[in-house]
Amino acid sequence: MGNTVSCCVSPESSPKLPSRQPAERLEEFLTSTEVSDDNSAPYLQHISDREVPDELALESNPSDHARASTIFLCKSQTDDKCKLRLSAFCVQVSPGPLSKKYSSCSTIFIDDSTVSQPNLKSTIKCVTLAIYYHIKNRDSDRSLDIFDEKLHPLSREAVPDEYGCMDPEHKVIYRFVRTLFSAAQLTAECAIVTLVYLERLLTYAELDICPSNWKRIVLGAILLASKVWDDQAVWNVDYCQILKDITVEDMNEMERHFLELLQFNINVPASVYAKYYFDLRQLADDNNLSFPLEPLNNQRAQKLEAISRLCEDKYKDLSRSSMRRSLSADNLIGIRRSNAVLS
């Protein structure tokens, strides 16, 4: 390890190269990994040259990597840019009274939503708004038959012919998701994981969520998130009690296709979950969806302190368990070495 020329040298110590386009970096990466036919001089490739550049790995998988931007936030910001262009040609109107509460020296306003315990109603509003922007600013109408509501209707009522051409309003999406969460008694964390699975499906399967498939895609994401995240999972037959006209066989088939399209990747890292939570907060601020603010009093301060202490205790327990595992592994290695010496 004392040698300065080593494969363990940190990337920060290597010289910085000028930034290039991802396509050029991918081409260079592929050509650099080819084995050279020249056997005159041995060539040891650096470990950083054998890794795919971060920009290429992060561009298409926002639901897997914390450094990648969420798709819904990008689509909502694209819509905001269009609004700004239109507002430049409009007459400026003086704003009305402020509806948002601001803290002062004597009063502090905070909401009861945290990354570990989000507010259920506000989180569902933000998640459904993200789905709304997905539908509104979609690139095309790529879909699969298993998610097509005309082929697999959720009710006995006939689906109108113009159903696939009419974008649903935000309140329609909110009502649909809110009904499922209320009837199944799902948590706010499940709503965030639902959005993660939805964007992962769109990325992996190269689909678009559109008016003809949004209900079944959202239902499949909620079904999967409730089983993975909640301790007391909701069975498929329970959803058939909520949606009276859907069959268990249809739910099972949709769930199986959803998992196959996700390549059975249902893992949600803590960093990705936190990124989606704070991006949803940003989406709420951009669209004036304020979380319920209440003045900080003694009771709320004690509650926040109790939550923080609970989180600290959990982290201490995790660190202690990891230390025990490492110590037990070291002891096991020492015992094996001593037995090898004695033998």
CATH number at residue 273: 1.10.472.10
The Cα–Cα gap between 343 and 330 comes to 20
**Cβ partners under 8 Å of residue 25, min gap 6:** 53, 55, 56
**Cβ partners under 8 Å of residue 175, min gap 6:** none
pLDDT for position 29: 47
Range of the domain at 186: 120-287
Once rounded to an integer, what is the mean pLDDT over residues 285-293? Answer: 79
Q: Which of 45-59, 136-150, 267-281 has the lowest mean pLDDT?
A: 45-59
pLDDT for position 171: 94
Once rounded to an integer, what is the mean pLDDT over residues 247-271? Answer: 94
Q: 188 in a domain, yes or no?
A: yes
Q: 277 in a domain, yes or no?
A: yes
Q: Which residue has the higher pLDDT, 93 or 278?
A: 278
Q: What's the whole-model pTM score? A: 0.68
Q: 319 in a domain, yes or no?
A: no
Q: 206 in a domain, yes or no?
A: yes
Asked if pLDDT for residue 55 goes beyond 50, the answer is no
> Which residues share a beta bridge with 293?
111
Element (H, E) at 109: strand 109-111
Asked if pLDDT for residue 13 goes beyond 60, the answer is no
The Cα–Cα gap between 219 and 198 comes to 10
Q: Which residues of 206-230 are buried (b: 16+ CB within 10 A; e: fewer)?
A: ebbbbbbbbbbbbbbbbbbbbeebb
pLDDT for position 89: 39
Domain count, the chain: 1
* Per-residue confidence band for 173, with pLDDT thresholds at 50, 70 and 90: very high
Structure tokens at 154: 């959720």
pLDDT for position 3: 46
Asked if pLDDT for residue 26 goes beyond 70, the answer is no
Once rounded to an integer, what is the mean pLDDT over residues 166-189? Answer: 93
The fraction of the chain above a pLDDT of 90, given in percent, is: 38
**Cβ partners under 8 Å of residue 207, min gap 6:** 142, 143, 144, 147, 201, 213, 217, 261
Q: 60 in a domain, yes or no?
A: no
* Alpha helices by DSSP H, 288-342: 298-342
Chain-centroid distance of CA 325 in Å reads 31
**Cβ partners under 8 Å of residue 234, min gap 6:** 184, 186, 223, 226, 227
Q: 189 in a domain, yes or no?
A: yes
* Per-residue confidence band for 14, with pLDDT thresholds at 50, 70 and 90: very low
Q: Mean pLDDT, the chain, as a whole number? A: 75
Q: 34 in a domain, yes or no?
A: no
Q: 181 in a domain, yes or no?
A: yes
| Of residues 47, 55, 62, the one with CA closest to residue 9 | 47
